[in-house]
Chain A
């Protein structure tokens, strides 16, 4: 691929969330001589919204203010891009629907798929930029004239798990400036450049849920009569003994052992959530282990070799386990792990790596 055709200038659109990582990303690019344009996607600030609703933009998030302050400090152009309706449609609504279907959804991937690496890619083109940069812990590497995504230097922070839906065509246009650093170094850089966000806490969990807990969030955003239909029985796996009742399947996730709502002498785990009859199956930990999983809506950045063993992550903080991958249908694959894995959870993604290189991933279906 001839880079001269692709990369027409050094102008880069940086997605700035107001956090330390994307702030340092912008600062690094500025230092490297890029013409940097900062942008924050304004999505609904679900966590701190207590102003009267129904009055247009109810709250401009403090994070947007933080991003703006960093852009001012770096003296770069900065714009707020409104994504509220798209965010609701593509991220919030499927998140809510997923929980009601007994899954444990992964909204960050949808945000990347439909907002950061679609909507912002469109803005990147429209603003005549050659690159889009984010504060993700990931790296773009080049080999044999092709660009790939690979894991970051900081293994613990690595966020490539959330990037498997990226269109391979856009990879040469992506920059992940903090991906070659470790988190403490990123904070040091923020402090060195006196960015106001240097000591800001990392966002924990899902950005729009905040501190309230995901079940509180669901209860605030789903109609009461719909939630009432999600009540059901708690049964013992696999025998089916009725152990009790529950207040809604959205309170449960695979592998959960706390807050099940049973007064039982053994430690029990959620083995399965069956949305068809709202049954929450609980049982001994051994039943959580499985060696196979089917993935759907699979998205590949590189070709797969069925004879080869890959490392597959089944949740963000999973270390990755060796597995073979077999094609079942157009975008359906079977993943066969070398060793059994704990709590393979529908709604999460199985993400495939060849050593450090991101190959692709799909959505776990049970």
Chain B
């Protein structure tokens, strides 16, 4: 297989995926020597079993939870589907007239598609879902939440932070309110890891989902946190792996990479502050040098690494291509939505117009991002925006 070459001056799309952490290039081959099936009784199963145990412990320690509360899976999309569909299953199996208690759901309108579309699927099956609005400043409507959060709600899903705008939601408070009404709380924590400081136990969520590839571990691996003794139905049936909570032979190298990264992250908390300072400086420069730019959700709490902006008179798709050609991979929205001609549903749901949504740019920094890279990026961005605006305003291209 020949792969196309890359010309990357600064990778600025860490919300889509993070690069594999450099020391993992040395660690992973070591783990690969333990290629046995962790479920095997014989000796080749011992080392991989050991890898799983160690990684589960590292993850549990990072979150300050019990290792038994961690279930390995393929990532947050699977985790989100598992939690929501698993809890809804019981209600769906009951005849309509018996669905009196705890048969409603709540979720924000800006969730990742793996949450949004799963709830839409439930709606199509006749279940009630309350969609909690988020305003243009990136604030979730607490009024709506409190108004519609009743004893009938079984599960609330709100993400820890939004992948597009980087806005962080008050999970601890939302969770407390949910618990007061006897509702369970599910948090898609994918974007939090490595981009925000958070105390997981004080959030007190019942279910949380994470993906390894968002925090410098390998792809196709993730984990699900399930608080002890709470209802849970497995999505993947089969063998006894993960105590029957998720069947299928474990992705041991991926799992090990997550444990490794979270152990590292616990020691490297300063990386988050560093990113934030760089991001703030970057935004200051952009606003100084480019006119008619609006930073999305800047008034509300945000991840340390994310800068989402709307640039008047510029088509985000074309801007992305131009920046890519100059060596700066960035994004206009969620990577999962590229190939979709529609503007970001997240931005539309926040009340932005189609034009505004289509003029958006998301820059997401990583642990390795350097100031010089961002300075060069701002310079390039300024140049491209100027040119695109000139074309847009009808400056003649043909002689």
A associates with B: yes
- State the A residues within 8 Å of B (CB): 1-2, 5-6, 37, 42, 55-57, 60, 71-73, 75-85, 122-123, 125-128, 169-170, 172-173
B391 in contact with A56 (CB, 8 Å): no
Shortest Cβ-Cβ A-B pairs, 10 listed? A82-B341, A126-B318, A169-B398, A72-B4, A125-B397, A84-B341, A56-B340, A57-B340, A125-B391, A57-B339
B5 interfacial by beta-carbon distance below 8 Å: yes
Q: Closest approach, in angstroms, between the C-beta of A18 and any C-beta of chain B?
A: 15
List, in ascending order, chain B residues with CB within 8 A of A2's CB: 399
Given A126-B318, A127-B322: A73 in contact with B397 (beta carbons within 8 A)? no
A42 in contact with B339 (CB, 8 Å): yes
Give the complex CA separation of A135 and B363 in angstroms. 36
List, in ascending order, chain B residues with CB within 8 A of A6's CB: 398-399
Give the complex CA separation of A42 and B324 in angstroms. 19
B283 interfacial by beta-carbon distance below 8 Å: no
Given A80-B339, A127-B325: A73 in contact with B2 (beta carbons within 8 A)? yes
B321 in contact with A170 (CB, 8 Å): no
List, in ascending order, chain A residues with CB within 8 A of B317's CB: 81-82
B16 interfacial by beta-carbon distance below 8 Å: no
Q: Closest approach, in angstroms, between the C-beta of A45 and any C-beta of chain B?
A: 12
- Residues facing A in B312-344 (CB within 8 A) are 315, 317-318, 321-322, 324-325, 337, 339-342
Given A57-B340, A125-B391: A1 in contact with B399 (beta carbons within 8 A)? yes
A56 in contact with B342 (CB, 8 Å): yes
By beta carbon, the residue of chain A nearest B345 is A56
B387 interfacial by beta-carbon distance below 8 Å: yes
B321 in contact with A79 (CB, 8 Å): yes
List, in ascending order, chain A residues with CB within 8 A of B337's CB: 56
Give the complex CA separation of A6 and B3 in angstroms. 35
Given A82-B341, A85-B341: A126 in contact with B322 (beta carbons within 8 A)? yes
B340 in contact with A173 (CB, 8 Å): no
B325 in contact with A37 (CB, 8 Å): yes
A60 in contact with B339 (CB, 8 Å): yes
Most central of B317, B339, B387, B397 by chain A CB within 10 Å: B397
A72 in contact with B399 (CB, 8 Å): no
A173 in contact with B321 (CB, 8 Å): no
Q: List 30 A-B contacts (CB under 8 A).
A: A1-B399, A2-B399, A6-B398, A37-B325, A55-B117, A56-B337, A56-B340, A57-B339, A57-B340, A60-B339, A71-B4, A72-B4, A76-B4, A77-B321, A77-B324, A78-B4, A79-B321, A80-B339, A82-B339, A82-B341, A85-B341, A122-B391, A123-B318, A126-B315, A126-B318, A126-B322, A127-B318, A127-B321, A128-B387, A173-B398
By beta carbon, the residue of chain B nearest A172 is B398
Give the complex CA separation of A76 and B5 in angstroms. 8
A126 in contact with B388 (CB, 8 Å): yes
Give the complex CA separation of A248 and B93 in angstroms. 47
Contact with A along B1-27 (1 / 0, CB 8 A): 011110000000000000000000000
Give the complex CA separation of A84 and B339 in angstroms. 10
List, in ascending order, chain A residues with CB within 8 A of B4's CB: 71-72, 75-76, 78
List, in ascending order, chain A residues with CB within 8 A of B339's CB: 42, 57, 60, 80, 82
By beta carbon, the residue of chain B nearest A73 is B2
List, in ascending order, chain B residues with CB within 8 A of A57's CB: 339-341
Give the complex CA separation of A82 and B338 in angstroms. 10
Given A57-B339, A82-B341, A125-B391: A72 in contact with B2 (beta carbons within 8 A)? yes
Contact with A along B355-399 (1 / 0, CB 8 A): 000000000000000000000000000000001100100000111
B391 in contact with A126 (CB, 8 Å): yes
Give the complex CA separation of A170 and B399 in angstroms. 10
Give the complex CA separation of A60 and B398 in angstroms. 34
Give the complex CA separation of A85 and B179 in angstroms. 45
Q: Closest approach, in angstroms, between the C-beta of B235 and any C-beta of chain A?
A: 20
Give the complex CA separation of A170 and B391 in angstroms. 15
List, in ascending order, chain A residues with CB within 8 A of B391's CB: 122, 125-126
Q: Could you list 7 further interchain pairs (A-B, Cβ under 8 angstroms) beyond the known A2-B399, A55-B117, A84-B341? A: A56-B340, A77-B324, A80-B339, A85-B341, A126-B318, A127-B322, A128-B322
Give the complex CA separation of A127 and B4 in angstroms. 20
By beta carbon, the residue of chain B nearest A126 is B318
Give the complex CA separation of A75 and B5 in angstroms. 6
List, in ascending order, chain B residues with CB within 8 A of A122's CB: 391
- Residues facing A in B186-238 (CB within 8 A) are none
By beta carbon, the residue of chain B nearest A173 is B398
By beta carbon, the residue of chain B nearest A35 is B325
List, in ascending order, chain B residues with CB within 8 A of A79's CB: 321, 324
Give the complex CA separation of A172 and B399 in angstroms. 11
Q: Closest approach, in angstroms, between the C-beta of A326 and any C-beta of chain B?
A: 31
List, in ascending order, chain B residues with CB within 8 A of A78's CB: 4
List, in ascending order, chain A residues with CB within 8 A of B322's CB: 126-128
Q: Closest approach, in angstroms, between the C-beta of B332 and any C-beta of chain A?
A: 11
List, in ascending order, chain B residues with CB within 8 A of A60's CB: 339
List, in ascending order, chain B residues with CB within 8 A of A172's CB: 398
Most central of B317, B391, B398 by chain A CB within 10 Å: B398
Give the complex CA separation of A57 and B388 in angstroms. 28
By beta carbon, the residue of chain B nearest A64 is B339
By beta carbon, the residue of chain B nearest A3 is B399
List, in ascending order, chain A residues with CB within 8 A of B397's CB: 125
Contact with A along B56-89 (1 / 0, CB 8 A): 0000000000000000000000000000000000
Q: Closest approach, in angstroms, between the C-beta of B113 and any C-beta of chain A?
A: 9
List, in ascending order, chain B residues with CB within 8 A of A170's CB: 398
Give the complex CA separation of A77 and B328 in angstroms. 13
Give the complex CA separation of A71 and B4 in angstroms. 8
List, in ascending order, chain A residues with CB within 8 A of B321's CB: 77, 79, 126-127
Give the complex CA separation of A125 and B318 in angstroms. 10
List, in ascending order, chain A residues with CB within 8 A of B2's CB: 72-73, 75
Most central of B4, B117, B317 by chain A CB within 10 Å: B4
Give the complex CA separation of A42 and B341 in angstroms. 9
Q: Closest approach, in angstroms, between the C-beta of A141 and any C-beta of chain B?
A: 19
Contact with A along B295-326 (1 / 0, CB 8 A): 00000000000000000000101100110110
Q: Closest approach, in angstroms, between the C-beta of A199 and any C-beta of chain B?
A: 19
Q: Closest approach, in angstroms, between the C-beta of B245 and any C-beta of chain A?
A: 29
By beta carbon, the residue of chain A nearest B398 is A169
Give the complex CA separation of A60 and B337 in angstroms. 12
Q: Closest approach, in angstroms, between the C-beta of A14 and any C-beta of chain B?
A: 14
Q: Closest approach, in angstroms, between the C-beta of A112 and any C-beta of chain B?
A: 18
